[in-house]
Structure 1
Amino acid sequence: MDSNDMGDDLLVKYMLGEASETEAGRVNEWLQEGKENQHYFSHFKLIWAQSMELAPHSTVNEHEAWKRFKAKVENDVPVVSLNSRPWYSGFLRIAAILFFVAGAGWLLFLSFQNNGSQLVTVKTGSHTLTDTLPDGSIVILNKRSSITYPEKFTAAGTRQITLNGEAFFQVEPDKSKPFVISVSDVTVTVVGTSFNIKSNVKKTEVIVETGLVEVEKADQKVKVSPSESLTVLKGKPELIKQKNKEEFYDYYRTKKFVCNNTPLWKLVETLNEAYQANIVIEDENLRNKLLNTTFDEQSLPEILRIIGVTFDIKVEQKEDKIILK
């Protein structure tokens, strides 16, 4: 029995702990039949574990989500042909469960052949995600970001990663195998360190917490040390290194907004990004008001309430805008 003969429905029941003794025996027997089945199941299990991590953010019933998506798959089969990679189907089904369970957030693993090695792509939607790479390195992906990496790093060469969006990396040291991240038109090379990378349509920014990072663009290379940042503006050749002045770069990882003489405009800019909000400071005199406080896993309404009380200002909702005045 290969991976195509083992129904995804049964694997889901097995994951939910609802398989009968006979069904569980079938799954265990199937796992013993070959590495291909174990490989399939390991991906299946990893994705399911991530769905359980995201599930507390939603009241959606995963059983019902599975039923609804099964019906959709049966109706939409002609849309995408998966005959050449039959085992993709299971991963796409589980990804759909994540979409339902996690709300607008979703995780998708896609494996494909690349010179004999398989690549894995992990994407996030409206939630952050922590992923462990094959070498044990930890990646925390911000919302609406993605990484692609080999399922296994080869014995020789480099540990190659591709990033879109923003992520915090805690890299396992290995001097014989540098960790190389391609992001936009920039290459970041490290051995063992922790750092944040953020890339958008305007710029790519690297902030180092520990260790040493080398950033390369075209024929330029710059080393970045702890508490330093390097910025590359889109369409510009310069690599701009300076002391890190970005206070909120790690908010999505720490779940905190630490304000230390922080101007209101800076906090508002970050809140708009973090909560996909449209907060506007109507009175220009408020823009540089300074805040000294920490918002720790508080909701946007609560943060705005505290801002209003602190500066004795009004917080007004008007259509799609939140106005501070």
Structure 2
Amino acid sequence: MEKENFDDEFDKLWNETPASHSDEIKKASWDEFHSKTFAEKKRKSQPWRYLAAASVFIFVLIGTGIYFNNQPLEENTIASTENVIENTTSKIKYVVLPDSSKVELSPNSKISYGNNFALNRKIQIDGEAYFKVKKDKQHPFQVFCNETTTTVLGTSFIVKESENEQITVELFEGSVQMNVKGQDQKWILKPGEKFTYGNQTASVTEFSRFIDFENEKLTNLNHYIEENYGYKVIIPSEYLNQKITIRINKKEDLKTIVQLISEMYNLNFEINEDLKQITFR
């Protein structure tokens, strides 16, 4: 609309207001309004207007799940500020996560997770690790390895990435859901099942999650503890040739195994964490 026409229309509207004021007052008010509204002088910019508009714009974008980023928003996004734990030794590294979940990190492996891990339990792994997850229904535990995602609530399992980028997940306790990036199919594992993914092919097979000692010398179990848990076992000489028959979970807590031996042979024990040594008496 042209400025002159706009003036005429607005002047009509102004004069249609109630006649509670004199024409002189209305005329003075109109002139003041007109001079401020259509002043020839360029008005100063008002940054707050643009800030307000930007706030609305950002709100709309967040509400629709759209973010400005160099990478698309994906399910396996880990917080930009990460905690990285790497095992450069030749022995298993024991890690306690912020949510009290436990990790046995194999040599030449590493894990990374965000600073808000207790509320957003997402963790990236390169290599191999055994997870014993603290149960938390409100915050599912997710492990990302290459293109696979393992989602759990509370369980124990191993995630391993081989040199040829083949991923295997072995479930010892509880249940896990497996997802592959770009695929709609989901795999629900039961204890004793192994998920394998490689060359864009997924499969589920069974594996033995137990180890059996059938009428074997007690020293064989001691050697197993030393090799798999890193603790030296000292036992009275009169028990060295004792026989034992037992089935244990390959990822059983060390203290549980030690307590079983103690009860079966009526022995006391002491665990020295500094020396990594178990002594039966």
Shorter-chain TM-score bucket reads 0.3 to 0.5
Looking at secondary structure, tell me which structure has more helix per residue: 1
TM-score (normalizing by structure 2): 0.45
TM-score (normalizing by structure 1): 0.39
